[in-house]
Amino acid sequence: MKHLEIERKFLLPPCSLKRFLKKHGISYRKIPIEQFYLQSSETGIERYRRIGERFIHTRKSGSGLVREESEETIDEARYREALRRNRGGVLRKDRYIFRLGRWTGELDHFKGSLKGLNVLEVEFPDETSARLFCLPEPFAALCLGEVTEDPRFTNGSLSRQMRIPSIESDLSTLREQVDGLGEKRLNASVSLSFHPFESTGNVIKTIIYALLRSLEANREAILSGDHDPERLHQFRVALRKLRALLSQMKELFDPEWLSEHRAALARLMKATADKREIDVLLRHIDAYRRILPKACHPGLKKLEAHLQKEEEASQRSLETFLSSEVLERELQALRDFARKETMEELQAENAGLPIVFPAKARVKRGYRRVLTRGAQLDKDSAPNDYHKERIEVKKLRYLLEFFSPIFEEKSYRLLLKELKRFQTILGDHQDLVTQRAQLQKLASAPDLQNHEVQKTLSILGKIMKKLAKEKRKEFRKSFRGFRKKKRYFHRLICRF
């Protein structure tokens, strides 16, 4: 007997929704489903479904909100015969059935190659009820979007592709977000807006494009005479984020292309290191003056004069590098990659996947690495071990920034705040360690070979060693509190 099927479909995060239902005290009935589709005509399909030991044959026609269907119970032999004729995939999923206000909710949790795809279906007796329906809490906060009218998310389409579809935008539209930033491009932050089911290839290309525009803006500012150390700092932050993206999402890229550009970016980073190190030392001169006894101030003044001379020479070297063909060649190669609509440099099986899946996996791994390394640090750990933890914290923070539209906002802001705090503590610690090593090198400079300067360098080194020890203690105390906030990380991705 024919009847109308009137239903709306909603995408939910790739998490355990059984846990979600239990958390909110929602009673449900779980049924395992296996189904496949045969084409019956240009406008209709046949669905064969197994629910436990029941076998059902259904004919469907139409699309979107309203479809016509008729179904009949069949025996297992007929089901098996149809399965032999099937040329598509076989869908396997667990369906959770529960009351949703006046209506019945059916939450499908797919398995196999579609693992992670969660779709909530709500069926209605008429179109008016369907169109007036608003998804209630707590599901509204969980929802990633409605796909009722999207043919890619019909079960028939899923069985033909056996891949989770993405909701893809035009790449040029995503790039327009970056182009509209104006002077904000000087800041090497990435602030994009995209759907969690946007294609991975498009998101990766747009992030690279955004970081390139920041690199270009800061390079242009420096070459135009802006000697503010912040310009070089932001240039290096953009480089560092590019390197982090390539290393953290390496599974997405062609290995040969990846190896070439990771090596090139490492060389570019090294080429700007000397100028940045001098900038950092000069920036801290006033701080050194505050912590040193007055007897050391004359020696500090001579150190400052030496650094200023070095800064002038390093500025010229920096400008030569920023104008070099080596830099322009690498930037152009990355521009070409970011603007290209095709995805040759990305692994084909990953480029079309919704970004929420690889992003979730990588952020989860990064979070575990931060927890593991942090838990191993104690008062006897070497300074370099704290530096390694700093790198892990920085990588995780960058990943959160890159993929922020995917995450639950409150948890995102809380975790980002914690990571920034860690990065500040560990960054201050690493600055002290690095500056102390630099001052030890400076002690051998010919124009610093006098008692005043050598005494100043010696006392400053001892103070830095003590301050670095205090920073390590400060980190350990902060980390103990961070470990207790694991629930926020789960909510970050799963939204519950």
pLDDT attached to residue 5? 86
Confidence check: pLDDT of 41 > 70: no
The token duo for 312 is 């002038």
Distance CA 80, CA 78 (A): 5
pLDDT attached to residue 43? 62
Q: Which tens digits make up the pLDDT trace of 309-334?
A: 999 999 999 999 999 999 999 999 99
Beta strands 44-51; 103-110: pairing state = unpaired
Distance CA 26, CA 17 (A): 11
Cβ-in-10-Å burial (0-12, 13-18, 19+) of 338 comes to buried
| Nearest CA-CA partner of 157 in 64, 69, 29 | 64
Confidence check: pLDDT of 40 > 70: no
Q: Which tens digits make up the pLDDT trace of 364-423?
A: 999 999 999 999 999 999 999 999 999 999 999 999 999 999 999 999 999 999 999 999
Cβ atoms of 190 and 207 within 8 Å: the answer is: yes
Average pLDDT across the chain, whole number: 94
Peptide bond into 354 cis (omega under 30): no
42 band by pLDDT with thresholds 50, 70 and 90: low
Q: Is the model more confident about 1 or about 401?
A: 401
Q: Which tens digits make up the pLDDT trace of 121-171?
A: 999 999 999 999 999 999 999 999 999 999 999 999 999 999 999 999 999
4 band by pLDDT with thresholds 50, 70 and 90: confident
Cβ atoms of 475 and 422 within 8 Å: the answer is: yes
Cβ atoms of 265 and 237 within 8 Å: the answer is: no
Contacts of 290 (CB under 8 A, 6+ apart): none
* Secondary structure class of 150 (helix, strand, coil): coil
**Confidence (pTM):** 0.92
pLDDT attached to residue 64? 81
- Read off the amino acid at residue 495: R
355-496, CATH topology level: CHAD domain (1.40.20)
CA distances from 484 to 393, 471, 488, 494 (A): 17, 21, 9, 18
| Nearest CA-CA partner of 447 in 335, 261, 299 | 299
Topology match between the domains 2-161 and 355-496: no
Q: Which tens digits make up the pLDDT trace of 106-122?
A: 999 999 999 999 999 99
Enumerate the domain spans of the chain: 2-161, 355-496
Give CA angle at 464 (461, 468), nearest 5°: 140
Distance CA 96, CA 208 (A): 40
Contacts of 239 (CB under 8 A, 6+ apart): 215, 265, 268, 269, 272
CATH superfamily placement of domain 2-161? Hypothetical Protein Pfu-838710-001 (2.40.320.10)
Distance CA 232, CA 226 (A): 10
Distance CA 444, CA 436 (A): 14
